[in-house]
Structure 1
């Protein structure tokens, strides 16, 4: 088996183009096979063609018709939640691994710092940019204490929110909320996204509020710092903006958590920022960079597994 697997990207917008650059520059196990769009004048399609990548402006049907399609092992879908359902259905019929960068959430949620090594589904959902940035923090608290409630606020530059993001705001909040509970371990979750129109554009900022049972503050802080280091392994611009903040909520003055009732314990507040690597997008677009970086980490892991399995089969047949 080849030391690299060929991938295709559906959606030549900002996310798809940045992902293409990351595959070509940073991946150890992947190589670009095709870029897929619907607009022949798309800047992303034109850039891909200049870089020698096969392109089609006929959408998924065009990808299926390309000579290179039989060699495609992994497809990244960077379109929309609505379009992803058909894309996934067709690609699964062809046995293609799908990495979903939309909020469709057909497959299991995957955040590399939390569950990448344990996941092996044929469709993997990258949650949302806000989820990739904040849910690791909720999970870090969950490693130390039971989490009653996790709330995240993702603030991104309006300029880094393309038409896909804007069309999927409802899906963003619902998918992120569900992943706060599923991967973060919170009993209840809430997600808010803010599109900031400030000029010059501001870097992505994220705030995480967690209410947990009483816990050792030093242990919680250590767990969060370890989780931040794990995310930085594939998103170098991910960092704490300031030290973790703690407030003790006493039993005599509990907080009312919708759906759970009155709870007391430890409130943990974490303030993050995400600076993009500026491979294609500007550095302030950390919200897009963390999605493409997470997707690349996911696909590289899948490729590594498949290559290793192919080598193992080859050795077995040779014996």
Structure 2
């Protein structure tokens, strides 16, 4: 008898399909219980059927009616922020654990490299956004050395890797990511920008992180660089294509630069240095090509969290 936890995925688009393939190919403690969509002709549902995964094209209502629904422990939601609110309203009262891959942010934020074990009991955990998963670990890496007065991230992804759900959630992306930069990354104030790059051939996901800190001496600056490099290794442990593009840059902020306009409050101390971190995220190409690192980091983070939940449950059952 299998001891793996059964999972369902709602959303048969890019993210949901990639996640399904990851669960089937790489998960140690999880197995697919259902793939859920609303388009009976979607490629995701067709692939699921070919791979022997039970499917429904009737959305969350169809999932609830499926044979084997009671055996499903965890439900990933890879739809949209608005749809997640509806899905959570149906599934939470039925006792299903939800892992939200939309920017709905109903539950606490989870970024595995930063706070993997903090919300293992949350009934509905939010995986922030692709940009958040890529950049928040870098903000946190700086914040564990010195206080971060302001952090700004710019996520640039290939237009071809952004499906309808991503495009419908641009506003939610900026709001959710900005909030998580503060709550998980530790910045006093956070800002997020996303760019859908239509270049051909498509470009690999790139992320830029700007952090304002007080770091006047060389020893502190070296500690920041080492902390960032360690965090890159931590993220790359579950997202192998995650890497620094160049050495972390730390530059003094000229007195004439009006950085006070970026601070959380008017009376906050003026930071002395800007930390610039340049990242690249190459996807594992489980579903979309390798340029879609935004897809890969999101599904990899969600899978990492679900695996930890399942592993913790197995440990409790053995005790």
Distance in 2 (CA, whole Å) between partners of 1:49 and 1:285 is 24
- SS of corresponding position for 2:290: coil
The match for 1:248 is 252
Asked whether the equivalents of residues 153 and 192 of structure 1 are also in contact (C-alpha less than 8 Å), the reply is: yes
The match for 2:310 is 303
The match for 2:131 is 130
The question of 1:63 aligning with 2:67 is answered: no
CA deviation vs aligned residue, 1:172-215 (integer Å, no higher than 9, x gap): 00000000000111111110000000000000000000001225
The match for 1:316 is none
Asked whether the equivalents of residues 253 and 264 of structure 1 are also in contact (C-alpha less than 8 Å), the reply is: no
The question of 1:224 aligning with 2:231 is answered: no
Distance in 2 (CA, whole Å) between partners of 1:87 and 1:230 is 32
Asked whether the equivalents of residues 2 and 307 of structure 1 are also in contact (C-alpha less than 8 Å), the reply is: no
- SS of corresponding position for 1:74: strand
The match for 2:26 is 26
- SS of corresponding position for 1:283: coil
Distance in 2 (CA, whole Å) between partners of 1:202 and 1:141 is 27
Going from structure 1 to structure 2, the CA distance change for 1:78 and 1:253 (only over 3 Å counts) comes to closer
Distance in 1 (CA, whole Å) between partners of 2:252 and 2:41 is 56
Unmatched tracts of structure 1, length 5 or more: 313-319
Out of 245, 262, 273, which is 1:266 matched to? 273
The question of 1:280 aligning with 2:284 is answered: no
* CA-based RMSD: 1.3
The match for 2:12 is 12
* 1:180-259 to 2 correspondences below 5 Å: 180-214=181-215, 216-249=220-253, 255-258=259-262, 259=264
Unmatched tracts of structure 2, length 5 or more: none
- SS of corresponding position for 2:188: strand
Going from structure 1 to structure 2, the CA distance change for 1:253 and 1:37 (only over 3 Å counts) comes to closer
- SS of corresponding position for 1:273: strand
Deviation at 1:95, TM superposition (A): 1.0
Deviation at 1:144, TM superposition (A): 0.3
Report the count of equivalent residues: 312
Give the TM-score of the pair, scaled to structure 1: 0.95
Distance in 2 (CA, whole Å) between partners of 1:252 and 1:85 is 46
Worse overlay, 230-239 or 210-219: 210-219
